[in-house]
């Protein structure tokens, strides 16, 4: 049989739990919430707060379970429904999260949490025109919020309102120069406008602020690739691939960067990795075909490009050829690097030798001696011949 707390006792317990949660002690707060739910299974405020604490802690599945229980019993509980949407959004269940946010807006059309969450889902789904009205409504409610300014800019930029979006990103950064989503959005938009140096500055600031995720590293790689900084592009794309190993776009871009840098073996290896991640990805097939062509394997390149165009499988013979070709190219690259190092070493030795010989040659030089008098001329005649001032005014006289 449940033992109920008096309202003042329950209120004090909730205050104590909230204090622990604010201090980051989620486990301590959850202990109190669980105790309250055990004593009174009908305490849906404690259940709602426990679900919210679990969401903040990162226990998303448990949070969804508790918040669903609250929403089922108290469908008008807007905060619980909004946080249910947030938990589902974090889990990547966009359709369910969208339904939760729309349900909140049915009760409260200006609910900021729901407006933000719904706009985010629509933007991530590429439905920017649908997101724009919700993002704009949030911005009207919070005109000096960096988050609202950035969200509205994210919705507007792909719709062609580029100048306004850039202005809003910059406004958001004036309010909070550490707000990473604004830095990322600004870098992305500037890059699409071919303003590469400005984009590089924004992207670099985002990384410095701790946003070294796969998205920003891939964007940074694309910016370096556009600026023909091949080694920097390769490094950035490699970081993106390490952070998100199952995304074929990263090895595709890495293949392009390697090919531009002259690393054909790297271009082939990465293009093959992309194709193996997604055999239906035409861009992966094109990257592999282009790399094969750069390696001089014309027949194999045509086979791959035809397979990519028809969304067909690459013939097994091409994979066997790659197993032979890539090690050969890697070996050749090592040999070229060794030869280049040897040439550089020889040139350096020759320069050092010339530098050592030059002072010795200068020391052996002597002051010019007086010219001997020509046969048959007196010393005075010889002196006149050597001294221009002693020459006749008219040569030949």
Number of H-type helices and E-type strands within the chain: 20, 0
Higher pLDDT, 325 or 159: 159
Q: Which band of pLDDT confidence, cut at 50, 70 and 90, is reported for residue 119?
A: very high
Query: Would 19 be classed as within a structural domain?
Result: yes
CATH number of the domain residue 33 falls in:
1.25.40.10
State the residue for tokens 């050969």.
328
User: Which tens digit of pLDDT belongs to each residue from 161-179?
Assistant: 999 999 999 999 999 999 9
Nearest to 168 by CA among 159, 114, 178, 155: 155
Domain count, the chain: 1
Q: Are 191 and 201 in contact (CB under 8 A)?
A: no
The pair of structure tokens assigned to 126 is: 């590429």
Query: Would 71 be classed as within a structural domain?
Result: yes
**126 pLDDT more than 80:** yes
Counting every residue, how long is the chain?
397
Query: Would 385 be classed as within a structural domain?
Result: no
Query: Would 88 be classed as within a structural domain?
Result: yes
Poorest-confidence range of 32-46, 76-90, 242-256, 261-275?
32-46
The pair of structure tokens assigned to 217 is: 């590293």
Confidence (pLDDT) at 326: 63
Poorest-confidence range of 172-186, 269-283, 308-322, 349-363?
308-322
Q: Distance (Å, rounded) from C-alpha 95 to C-alpha 100?
A: 9
Question: What proportion of the chain, given as a percentage, has pLDDT over 90?
Answer: 50
**317 pLDDT more than 80:** no
Query: Would 326 be classed as within a structural domain?
Result: no
Query: Would 18 be classed as within a structural domain?
Result: yes
Query: Would 68 be classed as within a structural domain?
Result: yes
Confidence (pLDDT) at 322: 63
Question: What proportion of the chain, given as a percentage, has pLDDT over 70?
Answer: 79
Higher pLDDT, 206 or 344: 206
User: Which tens digit of pLDDT belongs to each residue from 189-230?
Assistant: 999 999 999 999 999 999 998 777 999 999 999 999 999 999
Which value, to the nearest 10 degrees, does the dihedral of the CA atoms of residues 218, 138, 49, 93 take?
A: -40
Q: Are 83 and 114 in contact (CB under 8 A)?
A: no
Q: Are 225 and 256 in contact (CB under 8 A)?
A: yes
Query: Which structural domain range is residue 72 located in?
Result: 10-124
**103 pLDDT more than 50:** yes
Nearest to 49 by CA among 9, 89, 20: 20
Confidence (pLDDT) at 393: 37
Task: Identify which of 23-27, 253-257, 262-266 has the greatest average pLDDT.
Answer: 253-257
Query: Would 388 be classed as within a structural domain?
Result: no
**Residues 6 or more apart in contact with residue 267 via CB below 8 angstroms:** 255, 256, 258, 259, 287, 290, 291, 294
pLDDT averaged over every residue in the chain: 83
Confidence (pLDDT) at 161: 95
Q: What mean pLDDT comes out for the span 57-65?
A: 93
Helix, strand, or coil here: 117?
helix
**Residues 6 or more apart in contact with residue 180 via CB below 8 angstroms:** 206, 209, 210, 211
Q: Distance (Å, rounded) from C-alpha 84 to C-alpha 89?
A: 9
């Amino acid at each position: 049989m449940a033992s109920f707390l008096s309202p003042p006792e329950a209120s004090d317990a909730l205050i104590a739990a909230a204090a622990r949660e604010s201090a980051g002690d989620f486990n301590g707060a959850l202990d109190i919430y669980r105790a309250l739910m055990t004593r009174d299974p009908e305490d849906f405020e404690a259940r709602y707060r426990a679900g919210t604490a679990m969401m903040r802690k990162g226990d998303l599945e448990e949070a969804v379970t508790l918040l669903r229980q609250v929403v089922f019993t108290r469908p008008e509980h807007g905060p619980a429904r909004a946080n249910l949407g947030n938990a589902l959004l974090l889990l990547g269940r966009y359709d369910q999260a969208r339904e939760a946010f729309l349900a909140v807006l049915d009760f409260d059309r200006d609910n900021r949490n729901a407006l933000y969450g719904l706009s985010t889902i629509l933007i991530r789904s590429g439905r920017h025109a649908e997101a724009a009205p919700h993002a704009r409504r949030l911005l009207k409610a919070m005109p000096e919020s960096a988050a609202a300014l950035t969200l509205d800019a994210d919705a507007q930029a792909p719709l062609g309102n580029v100048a306004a979006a850039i202005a809003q990103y910059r406004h958001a950064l004036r309010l909070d120069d550490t707000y990473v989503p604004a830095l990322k959005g600004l870098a992305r938009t500037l890059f699409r406008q071919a303003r590469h140096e400005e984009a590089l500055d924004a992207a670099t600031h985002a990384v410095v602020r701790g946003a070294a995720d796969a998205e920003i590293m891939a964007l940074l790689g694309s910016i370096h690739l556009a600026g023909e900084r091949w080694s920097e592009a390769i490094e950035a794309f490699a970081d993106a691939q390490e952070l998100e190993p199952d995304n074929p776009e990263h090895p595709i871009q890495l293949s392009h960067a390697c090919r531009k840098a002259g690393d054909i073996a790297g271009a082939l290896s990465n293009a093959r990795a992309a194709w193996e991640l997604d055999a239906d990805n035409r861009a992966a097939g094109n990257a592999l075909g282009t790399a094969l062509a750069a390696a001089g394997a014309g027949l194999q390149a045509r086979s791959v490009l035809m397979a990519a165009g028809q969304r067909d499988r690459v013939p097994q013979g091409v994979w066997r050829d790659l197993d032979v070709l890539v090690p050969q190219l890697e070996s050749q690259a090592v040999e070229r690097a060794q030869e280049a190092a040897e040439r550089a070493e020889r040139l350096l030795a020759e320069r050092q030798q010339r530098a050592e010989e030059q002072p010795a040659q200068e020391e052996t030089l002597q002051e010019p001696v007086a010219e001997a008098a020509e046969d048959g001329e007196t010393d005075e005649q010889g002196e006149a011949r050597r001294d221009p001032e002693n020459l006749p005014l008219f040569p030949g006289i």
